[in-house]
Chains A and B, each alone.
Chain A
Amino acid sequence: MAAGGGRMLACCDFLIRRACRRLPDITREEQEKEWVGELPVILADQDVRFAWMRALKMLMFAAGVVKVVHRAPKVTKLQTAQNEGAESAARGWPLETMDGMPAIAAMSSAQTEAVVKAVASAMARSAAAESSRLRTQIVLLLGTIASLIAVTVGLLFQHVSVATVLAGEVGSALAGAGGIVVFAASRRFVRLCRTKRGVR
């Protein structure tokens, strides 16, 4: 197996295992085992000629599984907390032992989601209000960095659902597009005013 394939396998493994945490205890282990078991088969499928296509198929498979899990009835918050408590201890994220991190780790899922949403909406507002090229670029850059930090913290501590992450990313993209549109429109407006006044 190529190194790229191995990395993609690990990535898909992670996606599936993470998604399966939403499932009830009774079905979680079995479903996870089944879906994770299919990944090497897809990666070794000789009917698909190119390795990158097999990797893509595997990613699509994982994405489909995430979709299935998100459609399934969600486990209660208490169950999720119990699952996460047991699994984060086994997972041993290095960040959880760092000073200051327990405060972030202690944030409830609602708080973390609120932070991500606030970042996305703040970005949308600031980008829409900006008209200067430099300021727009700075806002977009800062917004992207803030969004990435929020999403990383959320993912590391397992409080943010994939839907929220996607919503945050879509929000960032829309904010970026909105900023560019506003900037282009304002420049056009200034040029029009100058033309009317005869200024070249």
Chain B
Amino acid sequence: MRTTEPRARVLEAFLADPHARRYGYELMKLANLQSGTLYPLLSRLQDEGMVTSQWEAPTEPGQRPRRYYELTGEGVRAARLELAEAGLAQRQGARPQGARRPATGGIF
């Protein structure tokens, strides 16, 4: 799967503390993404089994229940691998064009 920039940012936000539980707005701030981008991504990550979610009951009156997301054990491994692959692909893409092509020989 191609790692898009927003996906990489969400995974990085999760990997900053792999065992921390994070709620949507926190992830929005960490990954610098809008809700319209973040929630479909989270839903996809959940479908892939990389992320699980849990509801936290309100502790104070007037507070609303919130949903917390967390990387699964497999998710941590897969996220690290995915980010490493994405970084490698980026480095290869950034290499100067001439360096990838072998010399074609002389003028004639």
Q: Which A residues fall within an 8 A CB radius of B?
A: 30, 33-42, 45, 47, 60-61, 63-65, 67-68, 71
> Quick check: B25 and A64 within 8 Å, CB to CB?
no
The answer, yes or no, to whether B106 is at the interface (CB within 8 Å) is: no
Asked if B105 lies at the interface with its beta carbon under 8 angstroms from chain A, I say no
The interface size bin for chain B is 10 to 19
Q: B36, A41: Cβ atoms under 8 Å?
A: no
By the criterion CB–CB under 8 Å, are A34 and B67 in contact? yes
Known: A45-B25, A61-B25. A38 touches B36 (CB 8 A): no
Q: Is the interface of A mostly helix, strand, loop or mixed?
A: helix
Assembly CA distance A13 to B40 (angstroms): 20
What's the minimum C-beta distance from B14 to chain A, rounded to whole angstroms? 17
A96–chain B nearest beta-carbon distance, Å? 28
Digitize B44-62: 1 where CB-to-A-CB distance is under 8 Å, 0 elsewhere: 0000000000000000000
Total A-B pairs in contact (CB under 8 Å)? 51
Contact A68 B66 (CB under 8 A): no
| B64: A residues at CB distance < 8 A | 33, 36-37, 39-40
5 further interface pairs, Cβ-Cβ under 8 Å (given A34-B67, A41-B23, A65-B36): A30-B67, A34-B24, A38-B66, A60-B35, A71-B40
In the complex, whether B37 has a CB less than 8 A from a CB of chain A is yes
Q: Find out whether the CB atom of A64 lies under 8 angstroms from the CB atom of B35.
A: yes
| Contact call A67/B25, Cβ cutoff below 8 A | no
Bound form: Cα–Cα A45–B23 in Å = 13
Given the complex, which residues of B lie within 8 Å of A63, measured CB to CB? 36
